[in-house]
Structure 1
Amino acid sequence: MNRTAKDMAEFLSSITQDYTNLKCGNCATNKCTYWCEKCDSYLCVTCSDNIHSQKILQNHAVVPSNQKPSSNICSDHPDEKLKLWCVTCEILVCRDCLLFKHKDHVYTSLQDIAQETKLKIKLSLQPIRENLEKTASKIHSIIEEQHQHYEATTLEIDETFQQLYTSLESRKIKLMEQLNEYRGKEKSLLERYQADINEQLKAIQAREALVQQIFNNNDSIQIMKMRKTLVDYDQTIDQQY
């Protein structure tokens, strides 16, 4: 495709004159904008307006510079028009050219070769256009397939992550239930243990008060009588906690 575009650009460039840098034939300063056949000159806007403002020159046919008609006068024989095509040299010639420089060369009429050339160009462009149309159609199909693939993949990703989210959310709920159940059991056990400790603290405080009272009485006999009870109680508490 790039090669085709390049070839066409080169072809157009070869048959099209570059008017962008041509200067006005009158002032030789401004870029040309028009071509006047009668004046036989390229003119800028200002010069064209000034020259053709004169009534005698207002009938001149002025056209944009890029629409200048091709010259059909033979450069070698200014009195003759180019009406023939030299097949041997592949150039336009006049009748006088066939008598001298192009004598005995194969030639044909300009109309015939022009018609043949138009047909060749048309036939050569047709397969290029058809190939480009086929390529454009293929690219369009690829774009459509890519879009469908993108949509399908996007949907698949969304569904997959939705499934993962649902699965993870379900797992989260189950784990939280297990955690809350474990926490409830642990909390209940610790609360019972704490209540038991509090009861034991109350008992210890009462026993300390009793022992302190015995100690305050300074009754050695009473102390020794309660010795075993006090010691056994202390050992029991130590073993429990």
Structure 2
Amino acid sequence: MSDLLLSFQGSQDAGLSAQLLSEVSGRDDEQTEARAEKITCPVCRRETQVPDGGLQSLSSSFFLSSLVDEVKQQEAVLGDASAPTATCDCGEGKEVIWRCLDCSDNLCQECRKAHERVKSTKDHRIISLGDWHKSKIPPAEHSKPITRMCTIHHDHPLCFFCDTCDTLICSMCAALGHRSAEHNFLNIDDLIRSFRSEVENILQKFEKSRQHFKSTEKSIQHARNRLQKKLAQARSDIDAKAEAEITKIRNKAKLLTDKVNEIGQERVSKYEKALTHNHEQMERADQTIAAVNDLMSQADDFELLELKPKVMHNLEFQELKCEPANYGLSFIGVRFQDVVSDADLGEVCVSEKWQLKEEFGKRGTGDEEFDFATAVACFRNGDIVVTDTILKRLSLFSSTGQYKTSVAQGDAKHQLEAPFGAAMTHDDLLFVTDKKKVKVFDNELQFVREFTPSADDADGQSESYLTGVAVDSQRVAVADRGRKLISVHNLDGSLISSISNSMVDYYLAISNFGCLVFANFEGQSFFCVNFEGKEMFSVKTFVNGKAAKPAGVLCDDDETIYVVVHPGKREDSEVQRYDSNGALVATVAQGCSIR
């Protein structure tokens, strides 16, 4: 075997000669002579006839040549430092006991103590020489490449992995015990790179899945929070409806009671009049009877005869006019209707469904007509304001669409040149973008103030063109399509921050989860950024699987994002609802016609 090792380190042909010698040694001469003309291939283990030219005439094995080159390269790289010497590196001839993994020094007991005292080396990892031989290296990451030595060929590093045997091998193992064709081995560095790449790909899938679960968790929480708000709103609406219906019933009861009282008073009055009339008639008869009786009892015969004509005249019988008892007027009652059971108070809606409530206006240039209605906002009293970018006007309508007034056109403060976006605060302040300015009006479209979000145009700087505007309780955000930025201001117009983004376009909204949401029409996307400009997410918009253009965004109080999109034909536009993470929840309205 030693002959074979020496020959392998020398050359391929010499190795084959040594192999041949080792195979025939120890055998009798007859066997030697019989087999001297054949050799066994070190790779496939098949017997091969030795040609007349001897071993030198055999074809070269490039596999073995590469292994020889690998061994030489390993020895050149590692040199004497790759294998621990018998004595300490201090040069005093002391026995080596320890090995430093960080600086690859061989240490005696005294040098180890010194190694641990020095500040620059006290944190180095030191293991026993025996463990180092056995490759029992701690599983921590190392700043230097780790070389493990073969447990069979102690002076050769492990450089291959035999996939067939599932074990690490050195170059000598590859040439000897694993040289047959069924052994498939790979370079350790290539294997590790492949393994790390595979692990990295799997980890990326796990991370993607984790992010999906995280996003889904947020979506579920958003849906749950929205449900809680909707439940509270539904309960409040039911109570309000019940009170309203109770009020209606009480009002109807009062009307019915008033009618009963009116009829009753009228009939009681009739009965009172009849009683009074009859009492008067009875008193008159009583008076006549009493007067005649007094005369008959007190007057003598001659006086009676003299008064006979008068007495008889008073006694002439006249039928008394007596009011009869009208029992018909004595009845009154109420026939009730079953108000409660005739119709339910309401119906529970378990799914959201939008329906067109009202529509007003038509194509044209009149007061109640539009050419390109761009932005819509509502005052608390229900009045509606609409900007028209073609007609360049801002108009005010009642809640039923009746025209009220409009802002005069012009470049004066109280006028508008080319209004685009409109947004309303909770206290009825209307913010309108007008070229380079933002103007503020009250609920009667009276001018309040104005401010300029961007500085004056400078050389090399794009011209400012303000489009979308959005407000919350404290801030107003303005989209500058010309300069591709969003400026955030206090409600008085003072600047808070400015966010640059190449996708800034026409439409903008402020969410109550602390973000700005804006759409890019031609980019067929909408974006969400925080107030520092960091993108939280971006979403491509689709209708029936086809890319669609967003033509408006709105953020609801429950963190829902609504986006108006159309796939090319504006009459096929629809309203889509997204959660606060940008996930599509549902399409809430279809067949909307958008100019």
Question: Which TM-score tier does this pair reach, normalised by the shorter chain?
Answer: 0.3 to 0.5
TM-score, length basis structure 1: 0.43
Structure with higher RCO (Cα < 8 A, 6+ apart) = 1
Q: Greater strand percent: which structure?
A: 2
TM-score, length basis structure 2: 0.19
Q: Greater helix percent: which structure?
A: 1
